[in-house]
């Protein structure tokens, strides 16, 4: 009997996926394009939009690092 060693796929697959935040952002952007959403989904989308309004992403040339420290 021949034994074949298989590399674990799970760690390689996990590291190949985009970060969860990027995945969620893409999903919510797609959902926002739909003509109608279930009420709980629409409410969650509104909450996400409100957070983005309250805390906007600075422009790329704002000169601030992610830590908030000036460059």
In a domain, 10, yes or no: no
In a domain, 11, yes or no: no
In a domain, 38, yes or no: yes
Q: How confident is the model at residue 71 (pLDDT cuts 50, 70, 90)?
A: low
In a domain, 46, yes or no: yes
Q: Rg of the chain's alpha carbons, rounded to an integer?
A: 20
Q: What is the pLDDT of residues 26-62, one digit of tens each?
A: 999 999 999 999 999 999 999 999 999 999 999 988 7
In a domain, 2, yes or no: no
DSSP result, the chain: --------HHHHHHHHSPPHHHHHHHHHHHHHTSS---HHHHHHHHHHHHHHHHSPPPPTTS-B-TTS-B-
Q: How many domains is the chain partitioned into structurally?
A: 1
At 12, list the tokens.
């390689």
In a domain, 66, yes or no: no
pLDDT for res 34: 96
Between 29 and 3, residue with greater pLDDT: 29
- Which structural domain range is residue 30 located in? 20-54
- The pTM for the full model equals 0.64
In a domain, 69, yes or no: no
pLDDT for res 3: 84
């Amino acid at each position: 009997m021949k034994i074949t060693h298989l590399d674990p796929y799970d760690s390689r697959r996990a590291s190949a996926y985009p970060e969860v935040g990027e995945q969620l952002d893409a999903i919510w952007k797609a959902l926002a394009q739909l003509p109608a959403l279930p009420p709980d989904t629409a409410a969650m989308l509104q909450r996400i939009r409100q957070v983005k309004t309250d805390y906007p992403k600075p422009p790329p040339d704002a000169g601030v690092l992610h830590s908030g420290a000036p460059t």
